[in-house]
Chains A and B, each alone.
Chain A
Amino acid sequence: MNNKEFISSLASAAGHSPRDTQVLANHLLAELTSLFEDENQLNVQGFGTFEVKKRLERVIVNPGTGQRMLVPPKLTLNFKASPVLKDRMQKGGEV
């Protein structure tokens, strides 16, 4: 499902036009981005947890050339599905 299909399905579910839904979705995503930029953690009940984690710098080796490279530290956004979501996924949507 790509973004367009997602917005159309969301619009049909929310009762808005796809354009309005897209605008609202953009606002929501802007809010999410601002949250994650501040390294906050967002817990959505019944869905999962978004968390910004810091990955330390590390040395990687290119197996083909044997070249070593130092990967700098970085902040990554991780998502951990909640047990409810996992359970639903296991059962194929049957709740």
Chain B
Amino acid sequence: MEHRFTLADLTEGFARRAHLPQREAESFAKLFFAQIEQGLLRENMVKIKGLGVFKLVEVESRESIDINSGARIEIDGHTKVSFTPDAVLRDAVNKPFSDFETVVLNEATDLAQMEAEVLSEETLRGIEETPTDLAEESESQQTSSQTEKSAAVIATETQASAQTNQQPIEKQVEASDLTPQPPHSQAEEPSVSATVVNAGEGEAAGRNEESQAVAENVGTPVEEVPEAADGPVSASAPQMAVVGETPLVQKAAVVEEAELVQNAYQVKTQPHHHGWGHLLFGLLAAVVFLGIGFAAGFFLRPANMSGGLTDAEMLWLKERRAQEAQAALQAEKAEQAAKAAKAAKDVKAPAKTETEKTVADVKKDTTRHAAAGAVSVAAEKQQPSEVLAYPQLDGGEYLIVGIKGTEVMTPGKTLLNISLKYYKSKDFVPYICAMNGIKNPDVVPLNKELKIPELKHQ
């Protein structure tokens, strides 16, 4: 392959082929090429079958530029020997590439793309085909299974919904059958109501209607089921009226509902007495005024809170705290006593009308709110005393007036982080230290529960 042969190598092979002596073969080969030359000289063209055509081509003189000097030079006209191989020889030489044919390219065809295509076709065809097929198959299977699954899910859901729809109705029908019998209804009605409430309010309305229709067909009391269900939940007066109006309600049911309502009231509301309420209000008002008075006294005196107090002042403060505690205790006791009395009264006189009760309830609530507000106001006014109850930061801009929360020191937590978490600023580390008696902020024991101080600007 691609060796450089000379005439001697050629004649060696030629001698073997023609069974000629080497010398004769060499002379014949030399004559052969010499005759080509002679033919060219004579007729400017030699055509040899099986080899090709040798031609002499005249090349005219032309101007050119010397690539070294850049000067214009003229190439003289000359004759050039051209060789065109014979078709047989040409095809024989081109045998390795004979399978290729000229391809007409489309306008959109890109050469790089073609190369990529050739690559993909030749090298990747065998590798890629099977995985893609598998993937496609699996995908189709997945989608089919998904659709099946979704269909199954929908079916189960519909079944479930149908069941849930059916079950409550059945239960309600059962309950409506049972309601005329007092001993059973006591136990079973609440459970029915619970199921109805849990099943959802929107559906419950529809179901109530359905159950009503069913119950009407059966011929049992209609309003019994929803009212019994609503009884423990809301126990409102209008529904009581409705109960009273129904002609088919039996006495036992009425008694039972009344008991339920009573219980609910005993738990939920405290029946009032006008005289007691006024008394309580007056007491709380007195406490509030007392607190305001003390607060005014604190705020008016020279502000050296962080500094030490004199012994007399400390004594006075202690006395005041004791007084306040006693007052609070008394107020609590009075309240409890009032509650007890009211409860007793309620038990004795359950015949109070519902409307009166609700009105009284509202009044009671307002009084309680007022009392609570008064207490909170009093607490606010009492802050200066709380200041003394907590350690303070010397020269600090804020006062520690309470405990905001607690934080257990776990790995990763720092005072800085805690400060940022509670105060949105890292400047409050000293207060946390002061609150928890931390002398070195860099050394905080692990799992130590830190009290986060509630701060107030001085």
Query: Which residues of A line the B interface, CB within 8 A?
Result: 1-3, 5-6, 9-10, 13-14, 23-48, 50, 52, 57, 59, 67-79, 81, 85-86, 88-90, 92-93
Q: Which residues of B contact A40 (CB under 8 A)?
A: 1-5
User: A90 and B10: CB pair below 8 A?
Assistant: no
Instruction: Take A75-B94, A89-B56 as given contacts and tell me if A1 and B39 are in contact as well, using a CB distance cutoff of 8 Å.
Output: yes
Residue pairs across A and B with Cβ atoms less than 8 A apart, 12 shown, are A1-B45, A6-B46, A13-B34, A30-B17, A32-B89, A35-B10, A40-B3, A41-B5, A44-B6, A71-B102, A75-B97, A86-B81
The 5 closest A-B pairs by CB, nearest first: A72-B100, A79-B83, A81-B81, A27-B18, A68-B105
* Known A23-B18, A27-B17; further 7 A-B contacts with Cβ < 8 A: A24-B28, A28-B14, A31-B14, A69-B104, A77-B52, A89-B40, A90-B78
Identify whether the interface residues of A are mostly helix, strand, loop, or mixed. Answer: mixed
| A42 CA to B307 CA, complexed, in Å | 118
| A37 CA to B39 CA, complexed, in Å | 26
A75 to chain B, nearest CB (A): 5
For residue B103, CB closer than 8 A to chain A, the reply is: yes
Q: Which residues of B contact A28 (CB under 8 A)?
A: 10, 14, 18, 28-29, 32
Instruction: Take A14-B28, A81-B81 as given contacts and tell me if A9 and B48 are in contact as well, using a CB distance cutoff of 8 Å.
Output: no
| A73 CA to B99 CA, complexed, in Å | 10
User: B14 and A27: CB pair below 8 A?
Assistant: yes
B24 to chain A, nearest CB (A): 9
Chain B residue at smallest Cβ distance from A73: B97
Q: Which residues of B contact A42 (CB under 8 A)?
A: 5-7, 9-10
User: A6 and B47: CB pair below 8 A?
Assistant: yes
A25 to chain B, nearest CB (A): 7
B159 to chain A, nearest CB (A): 67
User: B31 and A59: CB pair below 8 A?
Assistant: no
B82 to chain A, nearest CB (A): 8
Q: Which residues of A contact B101 (CB under 8 A)?
A: 72
**Bitwise interface map of B from 275 to 299 toward A, beta carbon under 8 Å scored 1, else 0:** 0000000000000000000000000
User: B2 and A1: CB pair below 8 A?
Assistant: no
Instruction: Take A3-B49, A41-B3, A79-B81 as given contacts and tell me if A9 and B38 are in contact as well, using a CB distance cutoff of 8 Å.
Output: yes
Q: Which residues of A contact B83 (CB under 8 A)?
A: 50, 77-79
Instruction: Take A31-B10, A32-B10 as given contacts and tell me if A10 and B93 are in contact as well, using a CB distance cutoff of 8 Å.
Output: no
Q: Indicate the size class of the contact surface on chain B.
A: 35 or more
User: B81 and A75: CB pair below 8 A?
Assistant: no
B62 to chain A, nearest CB (A): 16
Considering only residues 366-420 of chain B, those with a C-beta below 8 Å from chain A are none
For residue B50, CB closer than 8 A to chain A, the reply is: yes
User: A10 and B32: CB pair below 8 A?
Assistant: yes
Q: Which residues of A contact B35 (CB under 8 A)?
A: 6, 9-10, 13
User: A37 and B92: CB pair below 8 A?
Assistant: yes
User: B93 and A75: CB pair below 8 A?
Assistant: yes
| A22 CA to B211 CA, complexed, in Å | 120
Q: Which residues of B contact A26 (CB under 8 A)?
A: 50
Q: Which residues of B contact A50 (CB under 8 A)?
A: 83
Considering only residues 59-83 of chain B, those with a C-beta below 8 Å from chain A are 78-83
Among B31, B52, B93, chain A packs the most CB atoms within 10 A around the CB of: B93
User: B29 and A59: CB pair below 8 A?
Assistant: no
| A33 CA to B89 CA, complexed, in Å | 6
User: B48 and A67: CB pair below 8 A?
Assistant: no
B66 to chain A, nearest CB (A): 21
For residue B41, CB closer than 8 A to chain A, the reply is: yes
Chain B residue at smallest Cβ distance from A72: B100
Q: Which residues of B contact A85 (CB under 8 A)?
A: 37, 81
